Structure 1
């Protein structure tokens, strides 16, 4: 009788192995063979689910985004409409778990990804969805110009991701939290 395989769990295992490789060796270390070795199987174990290196990277990105969506839901849980934007902003400027590795991966993909890259498309779509969520939260928080507030916050978050990689001792959650609190107040209370 064939063994039943939980495909979602297998893809999560492959994604975790991919991210471990990125942490240890950077984007250049990611290959089907390296991932198979990391999970203790043959290359077929990987290619049955993800046939290319690009598919490996996209799987890792989508896995990370699902994790981040769950974390953000937890961060805004219990916040009223006016507090949701602040909760989202504080969460976006925090660094926990493997955030640094993921941000490094995202930056490398942004720098290297060609126009047809599925990984780059996934990052672009995630950015658009996050921007829309910020605009909705800004509207709910009473911002005079929710689209402007979403633009500013989106750019600040992306800048934090780069600055946090460039100088993590200086640009950390502790430094960002009061800055974000003040910025959200300015964006939602008007001039």
Structure 2
């Protein structure tokens, strides 16, 4: 009896190989051939799932977003779901606090740089960023409705500011300018400012 192949699992395996290469060596090193080697697959098998490097990169980018989102949701499953817990969990998963998240941050940065050259990837980056900004603004607006967020705070501007704080802290961590605990303390401070 022929072995049954899980196509979603294979696509995820290819995306993980792309992310490992991108996090280690940058996206230029993520050729179809090198991804096949990294994934332990033949080039033909990789090409069965992705027809071009650009399609492979778009798929890997989407996979990265799904992976981080799943970890954010898992982080709040352990606690009561509140706006504060969600925002802290989101920041914690987006910050490069350990080797795995540093590799993801390097891959993310490589995708952003590549997005300047590839319109389809740039569009996916914009859509992902807009979704995240909107989701955070929606949560902050919900906090305003329940009285947890001061009424004078604008949800959209607070969303933009929080994500800018995360980006800036990420750069500091990548450069070795901040320690993880001090970084998390800054995130908690900022979130307490929004949700006193």
Q: TM-score interval w.r.t. the shorter chain? A: 0.7 to 0.9
Shift of 1:52: 0.8
**RMSD value over aligned CA atoms?**
2.2
Report the TM-score, using the length of structure 1 for normalisation. 0.84
Report the TM-score, using the length of structure 2 for normalisation. 0.82
Shift of 1:7: 0.7
**Long gaps (5+) in structure 1:** none
Which of these residues, 135, 147, 152, is aligned with residue 156 of structure 2? 147
CA contact (8 A) 1:13 1:39 kept: yes
Which of these residues, 178, 186, 190, is aligned with residue 185 of structure 2? 178
Shift of 1:116: 4.6
Aligned to 1:6: 6
Aligned to 1:50: 50
1:36, 1:94 → 2: CA distance?
Answer: 27
Aligned to 2:69: 69
CA contact (8 A) 1:86 1:184 kept: yes
Shift of 1:125: 1.6
**Long gaps (5+) in structure 2:** none
CA contact (8 A) 1:23 1:101 kept: yes
Q: Which runs of 4+ in 1 moved over 4 A?
A: none
| Superposed counterparts of 1:158-173, under 5 Å | 158-165=167-174, 167=175, 169-173=176-180
2:32 maps to 1:32: yes
- Could you say what secondary structure the match of 1:98 adopts? helix
The count of residues paired between Structure 1 and Structure 2 equals 187
